Amino acid sequence: MPNLETTTLKRRKTGLIAVDHARSAGGYTLFAPQTADGNVFLIDLDGEVVHRWKLPQRPGRDAVILANGNLGYNGNHPDSPDLFPGWSVWHGGAFSEVTPEGEVVWQHTDLLHHHDAQWLDNGHLLYTTAEPLSAELAKRVVGGIPGSEAPGGVIYADVVKEIDRQGNVVWEWRSWEHLQPEDYPLHAAFERHHWPMTNAVTPGRDGKVILSLRSVSSVIAVQRGSGEVLWRLGHDLVAQQHCPSELENGNVLVFDNGIFRPHVSMPHSRIVEINPHTQRIEWQYADTPGYAFFTPFMGGAQRLHNGNTLITEANFGRLFEVTPAGEVVWEYVNPHFATYPDAASRRYLPGENNAIFRAHRYQRADLAWLRD
C-alpha cells in the first residue's frame, strides 16, 4: 500500500484550478509565499510562472510591483528582536526595491516593523512598527488573556511611520496618543502582548490613512494632519479583519476573517464593501455554506478594473477572482509548501504550509519589462 501524504493541504489539488478567460479581468498575479525561501512569483491567467524573483529573506508578509516596474519587497529581517510569541512570524523589517533582473536599488531597515507596508507613489514607504507602552498606559488596556503580556509585563502598541528615500521619518502616528485603550478592548481570546495590532495600513483620499486593528476588530481612518480618527468600522461590522482599501466610490473594501463574529456560531470569512459614513454593507461575497471560505488570519481583497474582486484565502494559499454576482472566474492554489525556516516561527505555526499574506493583480501595461 503506498504511503499517503501526511500534510492535509498537500493532498488537495494545487496550481490552476479553473479559469474563465472571457469574464476574468485578465492580467498577471503576484504572490510571495510565506515559506518559499524568498521566492516571489508572477503568474499568468493560466497559472504559468512568467517571472520569478529570489530574495535573501522570506517575506515579512508582502511584495508588490511598483509604478516603475520594480518589485517592492518586505523581507523578514533575521536580526529583529523576538518580542513575544508570534512576532517571529509576522515581523518584517528588511525592505528592498528590486529590478526585474534582480538588482537591489534601494534598501531600508526597521527591526520593529511588522505586518503591512505601502510603497507610495512619491517613493516614500508607509508601514507599521511596535513600541512598548508605559506601565501606566499598559494598565489601561482592557481585555485579552490575563497574564499574557510580553516578558516583564510589557504591552507593545502600534506606531505608523512614513519615511523618505533617505530613511527620514516624515510622518508618525502613535496609537496611544489618539486611541483611548478603554474604547478599543482586546478580544478575550487574544494575548495582551500587542495592542491594538495594526495588520494593515493603506493610504486613502484627502490625506486619510486607513488602518486595520485586528485584535480589537476595528477599521479606522486617520487624518494625517491632526492624527484624529475620522470614522470607525467596529465589531458589529468586522471581525479580526485585514486589508481595507478605499474604493473610487468612497466605500471601503475589507477582508473580514470572521473569528468571534458577534452572534454567529459558525466562523466564516467574507469580503465586504462598506460605506463608512452610513455604516452599511453595500456588497459582500461569502461562500455557500459559509465555512467553505475561511481563513483565520491574513487575507486580501483587491477590486479590479472590471468590477471583479481578487481574493486571497491566505492560510490555504488559495487565490480566486469573483464577479460582482459572486461567481468564481479564476482560481489558483499555491503549490509551494514548506515549514517556516526558524525555530521560533515553527513553534508558533508548526508543520508545512502554503500560506500567502496577500496577492496582487496587474495588467500587461503595468509590466513594460515583461517579454511576451
Confidence class of residue 325 from pLDDT cuts 50, 70 and 90?
very high
pLDDT > 90: what percent of the chain?
94
> Does pLDDT of 372 surpass 60?
yes
**Structure confidence at residue 162 (pLDDT):** 98
Q: Is 50 exposed, middle or buried (0-12, 13-18, 19+ CB in 10 A)?
A: middle
pLDDT tens digit sequence for 49-97? 999 999 999 999 999 999 999 999 999 999 999 999 999 999 999 999 9
CATH number of 133's domain? 2.120.10.30
Distance CA 63, CA 336 (A): 16
> Does pLDDT of 276 surpass 70?
yes
Establish if 267 belongs to a structural domain. Answer: yes
Establish if 214 belongs to a structural domain. Answer: yes
Strands 156-163 and 194-195, bridge-based pairing:
parallel
Establish if 67 belongs to a structural domain. Answer: yes
**Structure confidence at residue 1 (pLDDT):** 53
Establish if 41 belongs to a structural domain. Answer: yes
> Does pLDDT of 187 surpass 90?
yes
Phi-psi region of 265 (alpha: psi -120 to 50; beta: other; left: phi over 0): alpha
Cell numbers linked to 22? 472571457
Establish if 2 belongs to a structural domain. Answer: no
Q: Give the domain extent around 125.
A: 8-366
What 3-state DSSP class applies to 318?
Answer: strand
> Does pLDDT of 329 surpass 60?
yes
Backbone angles phi, psi at 107, to 5 degrees: -140, 155
The neighbouring-strand residues paired with 303 are 309
- Mean pLDDT over all residues of the chain? 96
Establish if 371 belongs to a structural domain. Answer: no
Establish if 94 belongs to a structural domain. Answer: yes
Establish if 3 belongs to a structural domain. Answer: no
Number of H helices, E strands in the chain: 4, 26
Distance CA 242, CA 300 (A): 7
**Structure confidence at residue 371 (pLDDT):** 86
> Does pLDDT of 251 surpass 70?
yes
Confidence class of residue 6 from pLDDT cuts 50, 70 and 90?
confident
Total number of domains constituting the chain: 1
